[in-house]
Chain A
Amino acid sequence: MAPMRKLLSAASLLAALALVGCASEEGGLQSQKLATLKGRGKLICGVDGKLPGFSFVAPDGQYTGLDVDVCKAVAAATLGDPSKVDYRDLNSSERFAALASGEVDLLSRNTTVTLSRDAAGGNGLNFAPPVFYDGQGVMVPVASGIKALKDLAGKPICVETGTTTELNLADRMRELKAAYTPLKFQTGDQTYAAYLQGRCVAVTSDRSQLAGKRTNFPDPAAHTLLPEVLSKEPLAPATVNADPAWSDAVRWIVYALMQAEELGITQANIDAKLAEAKAKTNLADLRRFLGVEGEFGKQLGLAPDFVAKAVKAVGNYGEIFERNVGTGSKLKLERGLNRQWQQGGLIYSPPFR
């Protein structure tokens, strides 16, 4: 009896210690995925791979684009090197299975945030903040003379399967009481090939995607977007529900890029800003943001200077936008909804504190 009691008290002591240990540990819940990443030394990032401006293989074999820069920022913040990324090209029906099975660590593939994708009873994903506020649009040849959605009644429209686009199109056309023929294809390549061959009078997808694909058309100026926006499409990086600590890390790396723009920290001045933060102890906000003081990095399971590494690798959010899809790029997209909140946009990082 006595040894038994001793054993029990020893066990309860151990349990209490473990509890105290947990409470005092700043890291909190450790991320399995982060440990795997560090062991592997590579981030595996699921991208589209065929969408100019978002993820596209440049002639020199390098991936470029807004989605790709998110991968690079996460690799820089977690592994200290933006080049430590393996890209996997995924089509829209493969992407969730690839993420759920752990084949990719992060899905940065112009994916719309929706309830059923987020919910545990649906696809069970965790979304980082949207990096591009988009909407579904319709592209037609200028020569077709089609000016509005209702002109498409009775006409064939090309749609890529495995997206919310089919549903949105059906909803809008039902509202307009316009019959139409949806031609569904499995990949974007086939969809746009059928459109360019003249099988469909129009092709529908996210407006950013249409603008991106158009840059690769033989004559981009011969195609135009209809004014109607059929849906809200906030595009965001996604992770699995199962590892909340990893999802938090990704979420705050993305916020850091947005916050950096708000604070005027750029790829060019990051070193100067870092030096300034180190020198001036009165700049408490900046010091915490760049990891000179405080434990933000540690709480996320990342290095203290994860923000500085991410910004140094790819620049702030505004720079990423301009470089890949902005008015200076081939896509020539306006910032629109993707401006910072002070300018009336939707890009808004919660405070780093």
Chain B
Amino acid sequence: MGEPLSGPLPWWRDRRVLPWLVQGAVALVVLLLIAFLLGNLVRNLSAAGMLLSYRWLQQPAGFDISETLLPFDAGLPYWRALVAGLVNTLRAVLVGLVGATALGTVVGLASFSPNALLRGLARSYVELIRNIPLLLQLVFWYFVVFLALPNGEAALQLPGVVLAKSGLFLAWFGEGLRWSGPTLVDGVWRAPLRLTVEFSALVTGLVVYTGAFISEVVRGGITAVPKGQWEAAASLGLGPLVTLRRVVLPQALRVIVPGLNTQYISLAKNSALAVAVGYTDLYSVAETTLNQTGRAVEVILILLGAYLVIDLVISALMGWLNRLVRIRER
């Protein structure tokens, strides 16, 4: 035991005060920077006589949107157009997430296959897709694959699915909830469920691209489970599939979920490349709106806000999933 310190500690060496001071200073600098940038924006906009205003959102949009889930026409206001674009974005993102997860999981598992051909295919897919820019891939899917499809009789026909230049026709519950497939009427395909080639090209591009990254996340997660777990399960007499499902995957998920979150978010953001393949997503509508109204700052702020909210929602859901799969201490 040494001599106790005599006298009170000076405040600038007090560990209870110091962190607060440093953090306060950093926060002040950040706030000042934000205030400066905002002030700059407002000053320049008022100098140009264009202070932020969102009144134009109520004016009629005057342009049409090719495919919408909500009814839309040119007479409806701009905000309705933006909402229709947002719904289109969400539709592509949701389908893309499901597809990319399924593809990524299958490919990730395939890279552990005892079959060398399957393993090789999985590895080549990942290496090929990861190293080509997404924009190029989207343009490839749209112009080289989907737009090269024939129409009418010559269209690509599979059971329940018809691939034609005029769209992707799927079997679904049609009139009277009867399951019905695509039919050819006067040289034009009809089906209960029709996806446009633009939507199909975008989703295919996003699924194939993000699937490659997700398969690596899955592979990493499975590799992180010690080999001993496989061996222990085998020695208990469990088959490989049961081992995977009951022993390995529950442990691997803890590693996989945070990585998936990143991939999901990047898929949501990448969906803004839709305009390259003629799909009218939020970005595409916003671009037209910006051009017609000249309200660049306001439109960009709406875009930033919308993508931020989409990504935060994905993060929150994945955080919830992460808590669900974490090790429960008993």
Q: A121-B50, A123-B294, A166-B63 are in contact. Are A184 and B143 (CB under 8 A)?
A: no
Within 8 A of B (CB), among A173-211: 173-174, 180-186, 190, 193-194, 197-199
Q: Is the Cβ of B64 less than 8 Å from the Cβ of A186? A: no
Q: Is the Cβ of A170 less than 8 Å from the Cβ of B64? A: yes
Q: Is the Cβ of B49 less than 8 Å from the Cβ of A97? A: no
Closest to B142 in A: A194
Residues of A within 8 A of B275 (CB): 161, 184-186
Q: Is the Cβ of A170 less than 8 Å from the Cβ of B198? A: no
Q: A161-B275, A190-B276, A198-B165 are in contact. Are A166 and B288 (CB under 8 A)?
A: yes
Neighbour of A162 across the interface among B148, B288, B296, CB < 8 A: B288
Q: Is A329 an interface residue (CB 8 A)?
A: no
Residues of B within 8 A of A183 (CB): 66, 198, 278
A238 to chain B, nearest CB (A): 14
Residues of B within 8 A of A193 (CB): 143
Residues of A within 8 A of B75 (CB): 174
Residues of B within 8 A of A198 (CB): 147, 151, 165
Closest to A123 in B: B294
User: Considering the chains assembled together, what is the distance between the CA atoms of A122 and B294 in angstroms?
Assistant: 6
Residues of A within 8 A of B276 (CB): 185-186, 190
Q: Is the Cβ of B63 less than 8 Å from the Cβ of A182? A: yes
User: Considering the chains assembled together, what is the distance between the CA atoms of A173 and B276 in angstroms?
Assistant: 25
B67 to chain A, nearest CB (A): 8
Residues of B within 8 A of A116 (CB): 292-294
Neighbour of B48 across the interface among A120, A161, A173, CB < 8 A: A120
Q: Is the Cβ of B50 less than 8 Å from the Cβ of A182? A: no
Q: Is A23 an interface residue (CB 8 A)?
A: no
Q: Is A294 an interface residue (CB 8 A)?
A: no
B126-155 interface mask toward A, CB cutoff 8 Å, 1 = contact, 0 = none? 000000000000010001000110010000
Q: A186-B287, A190-B276, A198-B147 are in contact. Are A124 and B165 (CB under 8 A)?
A: no
Q: A161-B288, A166-B288, A198-B165 are in contact. Are A156 and B66 (CB under 8 A)?
A: yes
Q: Is B239 an interface residue (CB 8 A)?
A: no
Q: Is A163 an interface residue (CB 8 A)?
A: yes
Within 8 A of A (CB), among B276-330: 276, 278, 280, 284, 287-288, 290-294, 296
Closest to A163 in B: B291
A119-163 interface mask toward B, CB cutoff 8 Å, 1 = contact, 0 = none? 011111000000000000000000000000000000010100111
Residues of A within 8 A of B197 (CB): 199
Q: A183-B198, A184-B284 are in contact. Are A97 and B296 (CB under 8 A)?
A: yes
Q: A184-B275, A185-B278 are in contact. Are A171 and B62 (CB under 8 A)?
A: yes
Name the prevailing secondary structure of the A interface residues.
mixed
Q: By CB atoms of chain A within 10 A, which of B275, B280, B284 has the most?
A: B275
Q: Is the Cβ of B147 less than 8 Å from the Cβ of A199? A: yes
A243-287 interface mask toward B, CB cutoff 8 Å, 1 = contact, 0 = none? 000000000000000000000000000000000000000000000
B46 to chain A, nearest CB (A): 12
Q: A97-B296, A184-B280, A198-B165 are in contact. Are A170 and B291 (CB under 8 A)?
A: no
Closest to B150 in A: A198
**Interface size in chain B (residues, C-beta < 8 A):** 32
Residues of A within 8 A of B64 (CB): 166, 169-170, 173, 180-182
Q: Is A93 an interface residue (CB 8 A)?
A: yes
Q: Is the Cβ of B147 less than 8 Å from the Cβ of A170? A: no
Residues of A within 8 A of B139 (CB): 190
Neighbour of B74 across the interface among A122, A156, A162, A170, CB < 8 A: A170
Residues of B within 8 A of A184 (CB): 66, 275, 278, 280, 284, 288
Residues of B within 8 A of A186 (CB): 275-276, 284, 287
Q: Is B65 an interface residue (CB 8 A)?
A: yes
Q: Is A2 an interface residue (CB 8 A)?
A: no
User: Considering the chains assembled together, what is the distance between the CA atoms of A169 and B288 in angstroms?
Assistant: 13
Residues of B within 8 A of A173 (CB): 64
Q: By CB atoms of chain B within 10 A, which of A122, A180, A181, A184 has the most?
A: A184
User: Considering the chains assembled together, what is the distance between the CA atoms of A97 and B143 in angstroms?
Assistant: 29
B97-128 interface mask toward A, CB cutoff 8 Å, 1 = contact, 0 = none? 00000000000000000000000000000000
Q: Is the Cβ of A121 less than 8 Å from the Cβ of B49? A: yes
A260 to chain B, nearest CB (A): 35
Closest to B273 in A: A186
Q: Is the Cβ of A197 less than 8 Å from the Cβ of B48? A: no
Q: Is the Cβ of B49 less than 8 Å from the Cβ of A161? A: no
Neighbour of B66 across the interface among A117, A163, A181, CB < 8 A: A181
Closest to B284 in A: A184
User: Considering the chains assembled together, what is the distance between the CA atoms of A180 and B284 in angstroms?
Assistant: 18
Q: Is A167 an interface residue (CB 8 A)?
A: yes
A79 to chain B, nearest CB (A): 29
Q: Is the Cβ of A170 less than 8 Å from the Cβ of B50? A: no
Residues of B within 8 A of A174 (CB): 74-75
User: Considering the chains assembled together, what is the distance between the CA atoms of A346 and B50 in angstroms?
Assistant: 34
Q: Is the Cβ of B165 less than 8 Å from the Cβ of A161? A: no
Closest to B143 in A: A193
Q: By CB atoms of chain A within 10 A, which of B64, B139, B148, B276 has the most?
A: B64
Q: Is the Cβ of A182 less than 8 Å from the Cβ of B65? A: yes
User: Considering the chains assembled together, what is the distance between the CA atoms of A158 and B3 in angstroms?
Assistant: 86
Neighbour of A194 across the interface among B151, B278, B290, B294, CB < 8 A: B278
User: Considering the chains assembled together, what is the distance between the CA atoms of A182 and B287 in angstroms?
Assistant: 15
Q: Is the Cβ of B49 less than 8 Å from the Cβ of A120? A: yes
Within 8 A of A (CB), among B173-199: 197-198
Residues of A within 8 A of B296 (CB): 97
Could you list some 19 contacts between A and B, CB below 8 A? A93-B287, A97-B296, A120-B48, A121-B49, A121-B50, A164-B292, A170-B74, A180-B64, A183-B66, A184-B66, A184-B278, A184-B280, A185-B276, A186-B275, A186-B276, A186-B287, A190-B139, A190-B278, A194-B278
Please give 20 more A-B residue pairs, beta carbons under 8 A apart, in addition to A92-B291, A166-B288, A181-B67: A97-B296, A116-B293, A120-B48, A121-B50, A123-B294, A124-B48, A158-B278, A161-B287, A162-B288, A162-B291, A171-B74, A181-B64, A182-B63, A184-B275, A185-B278, A190-B139, A193-B143, A197-B148, A197-B165, A199-B147
